[in-house]
Every structure is written in C-alpha cells, then in structure tokens.
A and B are shown apart, each in its own frame.
Chain A
C-alpha cells in the first residue's frame, strides 16, 4: 500500500486514516441518499402510472372496448406532445395488438421495469403497469428518464465530493507531514548532537507553545539537569586528581621512609604519625567531596521540615562564642524585633551551612575581628548573613571561591580543605536559596536568601 518508510510517519498515517474514514462515511451516506431517493421517485412513478391505468380502466368499464382503443390513440397523441413520455399497449385474448406500442405485451399482471426501443426516437427504460380486464391485457408505462437523471446527478456529485476529499486530504497530509518533518528533523538533529557529546545542544522550541514545544521544553530541562550532573562528575574527578593525589603522594613517601627507617633499626613513630595525619586529611577531603556531590545530586527532600533559623543561629552562636572569645573574635547575632524565621529544609544541613560560614570567617580573619550573624525577613524570604570585617575576598575571586577546592593563593597556608564554601553553595542550592558574596567594607558578607516556609508547615 504505502512504502514502509512513509507508513512510519505519523502525519501520513493520520492523513490516510482520516481520508479512509471520510470516504467510508461519504459512500455510506451517498448510498443511503441514492437508494431512498430512487425508492421515492419510483413510488411516485408507480402512482402516476396507476392513475393513468385506472382512468383507462374506468373508460373501458363505462364505454367499452372501442372507446378504450380510441382513448389510447388520443392519449398517445397527447403524450407525444407533453413533457411526460407515456406508452400504452392493449392486446386481445389471442394476443393480437389492438392499440399502442408493439413488443410490450404479453406480460404478467403487476408492475415491471423494462427497456423499450423507439419511443420518441430514443431507447429508454419504462415503468409498466399491466393488468387483465375481461380477458384483454392493458399496459400503461411511463418513462424513467427523470429517475435516471437524478441518479446521474447524485452519482456525479458524490464522485466530485470523493475526489475533493481525497485531494484535500492529500494536500493536508503533505503540508502537515512537511511541517512536522521539519520540526522532527530539528529535534532529531539536536538529540543526535547530544548523543555525540555536545551537551550544549538544545531542542528547538517554536513560539507556538504547542504540545511538541512542551515536550521539547521538558527534554531541554532534563538535558540541562544531565549536563549539570555530567559537569559535576567531571569536576569531582578533576578535584580528586588535584587535591587527593597530593596527600596520597605524601602518604606514600612517608610509608617508604618509615620502612627504610625500620630497616636501619630506628624508631618510625614520627613517620607513622605523619601517615596517620595524611590519611585523616585524605578522608576529610574525600568525605567533603562526597557530601557535596550527594547534596548536589539532590538529597531526599521528603525529609525537609520547618526549621527556625533564629533557633539555629542562636545555637551556633552558643557553640562558637566561647571559641571565638578565646581567639579574640567578637561573635554576635543581630536581628530586628522578635520574629520567627521559618524555612523549609534539612536542619542538619542548614546547621552545617551556618557553622561553615562562621568557621570560615574565624579561619580567615585576624584576631579582634567582629563576626556578625544577621537575620531579617522581607517579602516571603528570609535573609541570613554572616559578615566580618576581615580581609575580605577580591571582587573577581568571589565566584571562584564557591567552587570546590578553590582557595585564594594567600590562604593556601591556612588550614581548611577548600570545600567549605562549595558545600555552603550546594546546601543553599538544595534549599532553593540564593547565595551572594559581597564587600562588607571592609570584610566579607555572605548572604543567603531562603524562601519563607508556609505557616502550615511549621
């Protein structure tokens, strides 16, 4: 029927299906109309023939055979001039033609449809009524030309409609197929580039916003998410290579040295201590990387619950104030009037976030610095900030410090894994927050904006 390749094309299939459907309906409707009109017309013809026949029969019964023959002759003359084309025939008991058209009788009594030659110089079908009156056989017929004409017009119209439907369907199918083919080709091309490794490729989305666009849109969102994950994996591998290989190298050296010291019969304790420390460092970095990827990969949000940030900030101040005091920092909490700062989230992770920011400030600021945790709320959001008056971060470095293992050159010597702010960023992202680093003039201000929780989630 259709070539297999075309048949796999959805618009072609739909076009074909609908054309078939329309044609079927047309044929059924056409047939019903045709036959009912034909029946109706035949009934009318029969009535007309019967009327003519009855008239002649009455004539015979009242006036006799001769008058009937004369009447038939008269009728033939009249009919040949009128619009109607009537035929008559009368034969005797013995089959002799008494009047009218030869070649019709004898016939069985009743209605007949027969072809008669040469009436008004044309061959035609006639509807004939035959009956026997006192042994005489009388036939009255009427030309079926009208029915024929109606029939022809009907058939012609139906055929025209069918052709129109087929042409329209074909045109529509071609148009639709082309349109869809162009769009599908676009989608396919984009997906193919993705499968070839171009993660930046996106499916084209037209301005019409139809179902295919919706579909393309969701695939694009999926692609973006996948791209993020791919980049995260790539980043983790690079990070591991970068920051785990170095301590692993040192660990390796320390074990070698411990072994050679042992061979010489000396005490390897200091090397073993070093090995232990390196292993600890490696583990800390590794665990940090793991938790960041776990959080970035989307930790389970069903465990989220209402968390009061004021509560959280207070307990952080309580835990850290003693250490801060000992190291000469001033750690305090600043907030406007008594209010609740309720967000939806993971309490442990948010705790982790705030502790990281405070520790970060303590690590990078000189003694005597002021570290201030700030809380405020503005339209449907809670603003949590940790600000210090320490050395701050140069504007061009602020985005980079949110990356894993990135450390300012000058802080290479201070302790820390370089994962703290990346973890903070990951936790903030998980909670749908926005994190920004700004100049506190002097110092650093890290601000986190979190959507406020609905009251019923409290």
Chain B
C-alpha cells in the first residue's frame, strides 16, 4: 500500500511512517495541509493518515477540500481530542475513520488495513467461507465441517465481522464499534468474553483453530497456515 501521512509532529510522523514501512508499505510524510494537497494531486494513494491539528490548512479543511475535488482516497483522521463532537466532526468532513491519540500502532495498522480493503462497491455475498467454516447470510446458519453450529444473534454478527475481514486483525475497539455500535472503552473484558464464548462453539469441538488472538492487538479469523 502507498500511504500519505500528514502530520506536523515529526516524532509522530516518523513513528507511523517507520511502522508502516516495517509492515511492508510505502509511506510518504508531509507536515502541512497545503503540501498534502499537492502530494495527493500528483500521486494516487491507497490511504491517507491526516492529523486534525495542522499548521496552515487544518486536517478537517484538508479532508473537505480533497472530497470536494472528488478524491475518494480512504482517510483515517488522528485527533487528540476524544470528545464525541470531535469524532463526529471528522466523519462529517468526509474522513472514513478516526483514531484518538495516543494510540497503539497495532490499532492504527488494523484500522488502516480495514480501510484499504473496504470494497468500493458493496458486493452482496450470501455465503461466507473460511476453510471448513461456512456462513449462510440469508438463512442465517453456520456450519463447520458439515455440522451446524447454533449461535446467538450477536455471536452471529461477531463471527460475520471476523469472517468478512478474514486474515486481517480486528482490535477490541473495532469489534465493539462494528458488532455492538459501542463507542466506549470498557474497563472489563467484554470482548474477550464474547470471543471465548464464540470459540467454544466454533473452534473447540474441532481439530484446527480458526479464531486467533494477536497479542497486544486483537483477533483474526483465518484458515490454518
């Protein structure tokens, strides 16, 4: 992936840039909004990471300008303020996701991966398949190795989110948002508990594990490698 990082704090920009390069991506760094506009004009990026507070043209305005020029590059906005209003402002300006500073790099990477793979046109799949796990979205049934698995509605949604993003990491907060529409950082291990219940139904009775815990990051569902 080719990523443009728009961040005026050099330390933070290097941290994101080096992290992305280590993960095998190409990252360009610029320190202000005006420069970002000319970079975005000259190069087609797969992703942009935009800090909200920038000298000159600020992050919100930058996103608005990009969207008004029909540039639909997925944008993740970084904010220092975690208030509800700040998040909504960012999304309303046209950003696709937001992340509050400070953040763990794994969270940023997981969210960028999710953004990059977001299909341009939502294709209606009716059956999701990962290894021997099969989900019928119309009948709302799940089968593994031919055996049907009985899931609660929310467990079904959780599994669906994991299967749709197979091979990629979903962090705790991403799962809370996608499955429960919950924008709050619980102090208790709610996600872990739901995952472990899902595992007991989907993984435990079978030989191979599909739901993997990625340490210090989140969860990923994929076929054994």
B180 contacts which chain A residues (CB < 8 A)?
315, 318-319
Interface residue A159 (Cβ < 8 Å from any Cβ of B): no
Q: Which one of A290, A291, A326 lies within 8 Å of B193 (CB-CB)?
A: A326
Interface residue A374 (Cβ < 8 Å from any Cβ of B): no
A303 to B91 alpha-carbon distance, docked (Å): 14
A322 contacts which chain B residues (CB < 8 A)?
190, 193-194, 197
| A319-B180, A351-B184, A352-B184 known; A291-B82 Cβ under 8 A | yes
Closest to A355 in B: B184
- Contact present for B84 and A346 (CB under 8 Å): yes
Count chain B residues whose beta carbon lies closer than 8 angstroms to a beta carbon of A: 23
Within 8 A of A (CB), among B150-193: 154, 180-190, 193
| A322-B193, A322-B197, A351-B182 known; A300-B187 Cβ under 8 A | no
B contact patch SS = loop
Within 8 A of B (CB), among A242-291: 279, 283-284, 287, 290-291
- Contact present for B85 and A323 (CB under 8 Å): no
Q: Which one of B88, B187, B194 lies within 8 Å of A303 (CB-CB)?
A: B88
Closest to B180 in A: A319
- Contact present for A320 and B190 (CB under 8 Å): yes
- Contact present for B84 and A283 (CB under 8 Å): no
Hey, what's the 0/1 contact readout for B194-214 against A, CB within 8 Å counting as 1? 100100000000000000000
Interface residue B56 (Cβ < 8 Å from any Cβ of A): no
Closest to B87 in A: A348
- Contact present for B184 and A348 (CB under 8 Å): yes
Interface residue A336 (Cβ < 8 Å from any Cβ of B): no
A323 to B83 alpha-carbon distance, docked (Å): 27
B187 contacts which chain A residues (CB < 8 A)?
359, 363, 415-416
Q: How far is the CB of B63 from chain A (nearest CB, A)?
A: 19
Q: Which one of A279, A290, A303, A320 lies within 8 Å of B85 (CB-CB)?
A: A303
Interface residue A362 (Cβ < 8 Å from any Cβ of B): yes
Within 8 A of B (CB), among A305-337: 315, 318-320, 322-323, 326
A294 contacts which chain B residues (CB < 8 A)?
81, 83, 85
Q: How far is the CB of B12 from chain A (nearest CB, A)?
A: 15
Q: How far is the CB of A34 from chain B (nearest CB, A)?
A: 75
A409 to B182 alpha-carbon distance, docked (Å): 32
B194 contacts which chain A residues (CB < 8 A)?
319, 322
- Contact present for A362 and B188 (CB under 8 Å): yes
Q: Which one of A283, A303, A320, A348 lies within 8 Å of B102 (CB-CB)?
A: A283
- Contact present for A323 and B190 (CB under 8 Å): yes
Within 8 A of B (CB), among A193-245: none
Interface residue B40 (Cβ < 8 Å from any Cβ of A): no
A contact patch SS = helix
A348 contacts which chain B residues (CB < 8 A)?
84, 183-184
Q: Which one of B81, B88, B183, B189 lies within 8 Å of A323 (CB-CB)?
A: B189
| A348-B183, A351-B183, A355-B184 known; A287-B82 Cβ under 8 A | yes
A416 to B188 alpha-carbon distance, docked (Å): 10
Interface residue A299 (Cβ < 8 Å from any Cβ of B): yes
- Contact present for B83 and A291 (CB under 8 Å): yes
Q: How far is the CB of A217 from chain B (nearest CB, A)?
A: 30
A346 to B188 alpha-carbon distance, docked (Å): 23
Closest to B184 in A: A352
A362 to B183 alpha-carbon distance, docked (Å): 20
Interface residue B100 (Cβ < 8 Å from any Cβ of A): yes
Q: Which one of A299, A320, A362 lies within 8 Å of B83 (CB-CB)?
A: A299
A295 contacts which chain B residues (CB < 8 A)?
83
Closest to A287 in B: B82
Q: Interface of A with B (CB < 8 Å)?
A: 279, 283-284, 287, 290-291, 294-295, 299-300, 303, 315, 318-320, 322-323, 326, 346, 348-349, 351-352, 355, 359, 362-363, 415-416
| 24 A-B residue pairings within 8 Å (CB atoms) | A287-B100, A291-B83, A294-B81, A299-B83, A303-B84, A303-B88, A315-B181, A319-B180, A319-B182, A319-B190, A319-B194, A323-B189, A323-B193, A346-B84, A348-B183, A348-B184, A351-B184, A352-B183, A355-B182, A355-B184, A355-B186, A359-B186, A359-B187, A416-B187
Known pairs A290-B81, A291-B83, A300-B85; list 20 more (Cβ under 8 Å). A279-B102, A284-B185, A290-B82, A291-B82, A299-B84, A303-B88, A319-B194, A320-B190, A322-B193, A323-B188, A323-B193, A348-B184, A349-B84, A351-B184, A352-B183, A352-B184, A355-B182, A359-B186, A363-B188, A416-B187
